[in-house]
Structure 1
Amino acid sequence: MRGEILSYDAVSGEGLISGDDLMRYRFSRIDVGGAQEPAPGLRVDFVPLDDRASQIIPLLIQAGGLSPAHMSYGEAPLSMWAYFVRCIREKFIDGDGRARRLEYWSFILFNWLTMMAAFVPFLVLVGLSDDSDPMSALMVLSLLLPVLWTLFLIIPGIALASRRLHDVGLSGWLYLVTFVPYVGGLFMLDVACIPSQPHPNHYGLAPKRF
């Protein structure tokens, strides 16, 4: 029979499974195959014995081909700045997996703030220049900084958008919708506001600890 883990207490090693037959079954950690820690929302296959479940096998490992090392439930929460830095340093071109709302909005926030900071040298030079003077070479050079920074953030931004789409159960290819005028922006804004799916999906476990 198949079902979904409703709850699990790591201290006692006991949990509860909601079977597809609408019945609930108690289980122990020793009944779960593999090194993976049971987690709420995880789909499993099991053998029912009265009101208990035995021979429990996590289905995501079978269906997705994931190893237990990739199945840790949730992740340690990071600060908004740490999420932004991770998107650039560790997941620059990584569109696989899932990204929670906090990670997405952290990138958007610091993308905007760093862009404004990159414009500061240009604005200072504009304020110091004479209105009668044409734009100097130094001013043109200072304008390159925000342009290059914008181009630099395009790739990690697309990768993050793909992971955010995965987090709500959608294909990363739907990011192409953002190129549709008006509709694309509203679509991505809607996706950015949708809560993470609390259960595992085709792209991995939920990044948020529920």
Structure 2
Amino acid sequence: MRGEILSYDAVSGEGLISGDDLVRYRFSRSDVGGAQEPAPGLRIDFVPLDDRASQIIPLLIQGYGLTPASCPPGEAPLSPWPYFVRCIREKFIDGDGRARRLEYWSFILFAWLTMMAAFVPFFLLAALADDSDLTSTLALLTLLLPAFWGLFLMIPGIALASRRLHDIGLSGWLYLVTFVPYVGGLFMLVVACIPSQPHPNRYGLASKRF
């Protein structure tokens, strides 16, 4: 049976597993095969014996030389705005790990909305503009705001694209494909629509809980 480790106490060597059959099973460290330390969020295969799990085998992650401490477990989804804020505040240049589709599209949505908002001063001045050089100069200066904001968003956007590629098992270096005219945009659109891999891969544990 497959399941996920809910909790583990390294002191007592006891833990709790949530099976895919929606039943919880207790286990001991001695039930876990291999040298990998149990950790919450780790997907495992096990044999149920009443209310206990035995012959526990971590799935895939050990084949890539990863440990549970090296990548965070799957998480419950956030709403779009918190995802956008987190991409800027916490993962501004972080291209490691994985990003689910909701995180990617949340960033795209609010990047577009905030960019449109940055153009508002220019549109207002353009609408109220007369033929004076001062008004024309001010209108041109207001274009600096969306220009700088767009450059600012490029960095977390590239980092997020790398994590999205990781989430479907691809190298982040494939982001370079986006610089190919016509092909690049279509490539990232396809990448953004592919579901997350439901199991650990070489970039970390699943980006969400299944």
Partner of 1:78: 78
Q: For the residues of structure 1 that align with 2:19 and 2:145, how far apart are their CA atoms?
A: 55
Residues 208, 10 of structure 1: CA spacing in aligned structure 2 closer, same or farther, 3 A cutoff? closer
Unaligned 5+ residue runs, structure 1?
18-26
Give the superposition deviation at 1:29: 2.5
Partner of 1:21: none
3-state SS of paired residue (1:7): strand
Output the amino acid matched with 2:40.
E
Residues 118, 8 of structure 1: CA spacing in aligned structure 2 closer, same or farther, 3 A cutoff? closer
Q: Where does 1:132-171 land on structure 2 (aligned, <5 Å)?
A: 132-134=131-133, 136-171=136-171
Q: For the residues of structure 1 that align with 2:151 and 2:66, how far apart are their CA atoms?
A: 35
Residues 178, 13 of structure 1: CA spacing in aligned structure 2 closer, same or farther, 3 A cutoff? same
Partner of 2:205: 205
Q: Is 2:37 the counterpart of 1:34?
A: yes
Partner of 2:11: none
Q: For the residues of structure 1 that align with 2:177 and 2:91, how far apart are their CA atoms?
A: 22
Q: Where does 1:1-210 land on structure 2 (aligned, <5 Å)?
A: 6-8=2-4, 10=6, 13=16, 29-30=27-28, 31-32=31-32, 34-37=37-40, 39-40=42-43, 42=44, 53-54=54-55, 56=57, 60-61=61-62, 63-66=64-67, 68-130=68-130, 132-134=131-133, 136-210=136-210
Q: TM-score, normalised by structure 2?
A: 0.78
Q: For the residues of structure 1 that align with 2:89 and 2:106, how far apart are their CA atoms?
A: 15
Give the superposition deviation at 1:209: 1.1
Give the superposition deviation at 1:139: 1.2
3-state SS of paired residue (2:142): helix
Q: TM-score, normalised by structure 1?
A: 0.78
Residues 37, 58 of structure 1: CA spacing in aligned structure 2 closer, same or farther, 3 A cutoff? farther
Partner of 2:50: none
Aligned residue pair count: 188
Contact 1:36–1:71 (8 Å) recurs in 2? no
Show CA shifts across 1:3-24 (max 9, x none): xx6235859945779xxxxxxx
Residues 161, 198 of structure 1: CA spacing in aligned structure 2 closer, same or farther, 3 A cutoff? same
Residues 137, 63 of structure 1: CA spacing in aligned structure 2 closer, same or farther, 3 A cutoff? same
Unaligned 5+ residue runs, structure 2?
8-14, 48-52
Give the superposition deviation at 1:62: 6.6
Contact 1:73–1:207 (8 Å) recurs in 2? yes
Q: Which moved more, 1:200-209 or 1:8-17?
A: 8-17
Show CA shifts across 1:66-118 (max 9, x none): 3x334553113211001001111111111000000000000000000000000
3-state SS of paired residue (2:201): coil
Contact 1:37–1:72 (8 Å) recurs in 2? no
Contact 2:64–2:201 (8 Å) recurs in 1? no
Output the amino acid matched with 1:84.
F
Identity of aligned residues (%): 64
